[in-house]
């Protein structure tokens, strides 16, 4: 049987292999992340946030609490929303409902998430003076609700699923903060990178130290794996990735390994086909692929020591159940029977039939190796 768990911005559904059919969902998932052989598939849950709100129960909750920050910074709401997909689909993992920008206020960077517009950074960081005002993030002081929610989630799911946390990667966080929000061309962050690199490196180092601490905080409060989202790293050329992203990701991983050597770390970078060989150099346990990379090719390029996650196109869930099944089997076959977390290559799209999401999990849970 397969296991299911959330793709931390793993934005989708996933499938891990466990050591044996007798292993529990939590053990199967963590075994797959560590690239060990498993006898069944593991499926990861999609949270409403990463899954673009596919569940009616989440949509109704949004009507009652229209502010995203209210939903993501209230312990009771975070727990309720995090558990919604798990209660419906019973995946092998439960992902914390949050956002990669949640730490920003604690770093002296005010922001909000505006409906129809997305993240808005009120005072973009575009000068050395502005970057100097950025503080180190202390999770215990600024996001105690995250720790409380993780502890409650562990109690709720017990050993029936693994609990996953996540953070943003330094370059992606810097991109939001310099651009002032989402961007189509990333002109401002690249202008800083290529004309005033010292300013950007200063900002990246601040995010690196803070996100390493945030990962440790999540682990100390119940997260059994943590995903790092470097969504915008693929806006960089390979050479620029090696300067502005790779060393900071590696520094985070090395720092976490010093205190939490057994914590599985997952890296997601959308559209990462041009960077695949470089991603394992960060030291993470798992690289999450989107659907633009052939799974067999991705597995080969990543090497045998790195587990892989992904990578069914979320649009496939608009197809027939037979079509969905074929795509799942194709992905699993190409991934092989060691160290694979089956999920979508990105979030579930708005309007996706809920019965097709359920079918994804049902098929995954029936897979044997």
Predicted confidence at residue 139, as pLDDT, reads 98
Q: Are 8 and 82 in contact (CB under 8 A)?
A: no
Region for residue 82 given its phi and psi (left: phi exceeds 0; alpha: psi -120 to 50; beta: otherwise): alpha
Residues 146 and 143: their CA atoms lie apart, in Å, by: 6
Per-residue model confidence (pLDDT) at position 60: 86
pLDDT along the chain (369 residues), means of 10: 32 39 52 46 50 67 89 96 92 93 98 90 98 98 98 96 97 98 95 99 99 99 98 95 98 99 96 94 97 95 94 96 97 92 89 93 87
User: For the chain, how far is it from start to end, CA to CA, in angstroms?
Assistant: 9
Ordered by where they begin, the domains of the chain are 3-365 (3.20.20.210)
State pLDDT tens for residues 97-120.
999 999 999 999 999 998 888 999
Q: What are phi and psi for residue 54, nearest 5 degrees?
A: -80, -20
Q: What is the pLDDT of residue 55?
A: 72
Helix 170-179 and helix 187-195, axial crossing angle in degrees, nearest 10: 110
What sections of the chain are H helices per DSSP?
25-33, 56-64, 68-72, 75-89, 128-132, 139-142, 144-157, 170-179, 187-195, 197-220, 238-244, 246-259, 295-302, 321-335, 354-365
The DSSP H or E segment spanning 166 is: strand 162-168
CB 106 within 8 A of CB 17: no
Report how far residue 95's alpha carbon sits from residue 108's, in angstroms, rounded to the nearest whole number: 26
Give pLDDT, residue 42: 55
- Reference 7, options 239, 253, 340; nearest CA is 340
Angstrom distance (rounded) from CA 233 to CA 290: 14
pLDDT at position 30 = 58
């Amino acid at each position: 049987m397969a296991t299911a768990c959330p793709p931390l911005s793993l934005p989708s559904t996933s499938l891990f292999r466990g050591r044996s059919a007798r292993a529990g969902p939590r053990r199967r998932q963590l075994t797959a992340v560590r690239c060990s052989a498993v006898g069944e598939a593991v499926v990861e849950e999609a949270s409403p946030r990463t899954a673009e709100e596919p569940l009616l129960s989440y949509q109704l909750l949004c009507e009652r609490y229209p502010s995203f920050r209210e939903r993501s910074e209230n312990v009771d709401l975070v727990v309720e929303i995090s558990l919604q997909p798990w209660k419906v689909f019973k995946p092998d993992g439960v992902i914390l409902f949050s956002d990669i920008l949640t730490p920003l206020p604690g770093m002296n960077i005010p922001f909000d998430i505006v409906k129809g517009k997305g993240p808005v950074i009120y005072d973009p960081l575009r000068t050395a003076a502005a970057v100097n005002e950025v503080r180190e993030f202390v999770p215990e002081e600024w996001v105690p609700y995250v720790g409380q929610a993780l502890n409650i989630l562990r109690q709720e799911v017990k050993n029936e699923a693994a609990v996953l946390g996540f953070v943003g990667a330094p370059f992606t966080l810097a991109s939001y903060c310099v651009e002032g929000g989402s961007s189509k061309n990333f002109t401002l962050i690249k202008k800083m990178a290529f004309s005033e690199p010292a300013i950007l490196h200063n900002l990246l180092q601040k995010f690196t130290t803070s996100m390493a601490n945030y990962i440790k905080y999540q682990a100390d409060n119940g997260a059994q794996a943590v995903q790092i989202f470097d969504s915008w790293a693929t806006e960089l050329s390979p050479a620029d990735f090696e300067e502005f992203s790779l060393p900071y990701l590696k520094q985070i991983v090395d720092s976490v390994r010093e205190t939490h050597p057994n914590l599985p770390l997952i890296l997601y970078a959308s559209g990462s086909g041009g960077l695949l060989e470089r991603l394992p150099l960060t030291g993470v346990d798992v690289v999450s692929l989107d659907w633009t990379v052939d799974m067999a090719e991705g597995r080969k390029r990543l090497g045998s020591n790195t587990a892989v996650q992904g990578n069914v196109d979320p649009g496939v869930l608009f197809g027939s159940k037979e079509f969905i099944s074929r795509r799942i089997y194709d992905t699993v076959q190409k991934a092989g029977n060691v160290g694979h977390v089956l999920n979508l290559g990105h979030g579930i799209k708005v309007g996706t039939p809920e019965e097709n999401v359920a079918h994804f999990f049902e098929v995954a849970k029936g897979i044997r190796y």
